[in-house]
Amino acid sequence: MKPKIVFIVGPTAIGKTEAAICLAKKLKAEIISCDSMQVYKRMNIITSKPELSLRKQIPHHLMDFVSPINEYNVVRYRQEALNKIKELVRKNKIPLFVAGTGLYMSILIDGIFKVKSQNKAVRKRLYQEAERKGSGYLYKRLQEVDPQAALKIHPHDARRIIRALEAFQACGKPISQLQKERKGLSNEFDIKIFALNMARDKLYERIEGRVDKMFRRGLLGEAKKLLKLKLSKTARYAIGMNEIKGYLDGRYDLEEAKRLMKKNTRNYAKRQLTWFRKDKRIEWVEIKEKETPESVANRIFKKLRN
């Protein structure tokens, strides 16, 4: 039998951490964070890291280990996650991923292809062409060299069009073929993915309550300290950084900063749900009103045993 890997995914504030801890106890699993922001040190409140009291109950990995002044990306995450999976499997522990960053989960499960050489001059020229002639011009070229990729990319999505054309010029192969050559985890592991969801109005209530709690816990002070650093491009875009900076710069008051943070977090949750809904391997778990994390974990545990 293949070793098992379990993912609990879903939008921010839905209760993934609490349900995962309850499930980890039942499975004798350890938790691996699959979140592009929770990797950073000193960003405890702003990234909604689980409180230490929760993290002490079950070992958590790939969390709180990168300086916020350093860049971090999906390629590095994938390698470190693969190493952690091997380590846990050797210990007869089930890797239980808690995922809010859909791209990290997708690249981990499905693999990544490497373009042999990234030609900055080629990329620059493609962007210049897009600016002069429009993304539609480049899209027609993509339709000629890689019609399969073109079917999956919107004609106005210049970034993805350019990436596909750049890969073709670097490797001499269509990006659609390179993606099929990726090596993922499915051949080696039995992968189960569960996405948590709930009524949209209830989720938004949770998001707003979480933002209020973050400010009560000292978000403003944490953000002030972070803004004194030369933050990496990734860390700089954590939700809350720009909103609080606007307040500190005197552009609006603290209540407006809170309102903007709630609005942007709701929008982020929508994007997360959109991403996860595209993945047909996911089994959705609808959380009932007032349902406890223990109850959610029990339902997932039963599904895993069937």
Helix (H) or strand (E) holding 224: helix 219-227
**Same domain? 176 vs 93:** no
CATH code (residue 94): 3.40.50.300
Nearest to 134 by CA among 146, 124, 123, 126: 126
d(CA 39, CA 46): 12
Q: What is the pLDDT of residue 93?
A: 97
**Same domain? 77 vs 160:** no
Type of residue at 65: F
Instruction: Look at 34 and 167; give whichever has higher pLDDT.
Output: 34
Q: What is the pLDDT of residue 114?
A: 64
Helix (H) or strand (E) holding 214: helix 200-217
Neighbours of 75 (CB within 10 A): 11
Q: Give how many domains the chain has, as a whole number.
A: 2
> pLDDT per residue over 110-120, tens digit each?
987 666 555 67
- Full domain range(s) for residue 215: 4-112+184-305
Sheet of strand 29-34: strand arrangement: 60-61, 29-34, 94-99, 4-9, 190-197, 283-286
From 180, 202, 217, the end of a domain falls on 180
Type of residue at 23: L
**Same domain? 176 vs 238:** no
**Same domain? 288 vs 139:** no
């079950």: which residue's tokens?
A: 58
**Same domain? 168 vs 200:** no
**Same domain? 104 vs 170:** no
Q: What is the pLDDT of residue 169?
A: 81
**Same domain? 193 vs 105:** yes
- Tell me the percentage of the chain whose pLDDT exceeds 90: 80
Contact 24, 18 (CB under 8 A): no
Count of CA atoms in the C-beta half-sphere (13 A) of 17: 21
6-10, 128-132, 206-210: least confident range: 128-132
Q: What share of the chain is helix, strand, coil (3-state, %, to 5)?
A: 55, 10, 35
Q: What is the pLDDT of residue 120?
A: 76
d(CA 14, CA 35): 15
d(CA 39, CA 64): 5
Q: Which residues pair with 283 in a beta bridge?
A: 194
Q: Does 107 score more than 80 pLDDT?
A: yes
Q: How confident is the model at residue 163 (pLDDT cuts 50, 70, 90)?
A: confident
**Same domain? 163 vs 272:** no
> pLDDT per residue over 174-189, tens digit each?
877 776 766 789 889 9
> pLDDT per residue over 19-40, tens digit each?
999 999 999 999 999 999 999 9
Q: What is the pLDDT of residue 113?
A: 67
CATH code (residue 129): 1.10.20.140
**Same domain? 280 vs 205:** yes
**Same domain? 130 vs 103:** no
Q: 3-state DSSP call for residue 9? A: strand
**Same domain? 29 vs 70:** yes
Section 277-303 average pLDDT: 96
**Same domain? 90 vs 167:** no
Burial bucket for residue 236 (CB in 10 Å: 0-12, 13-18, 19+):
middle
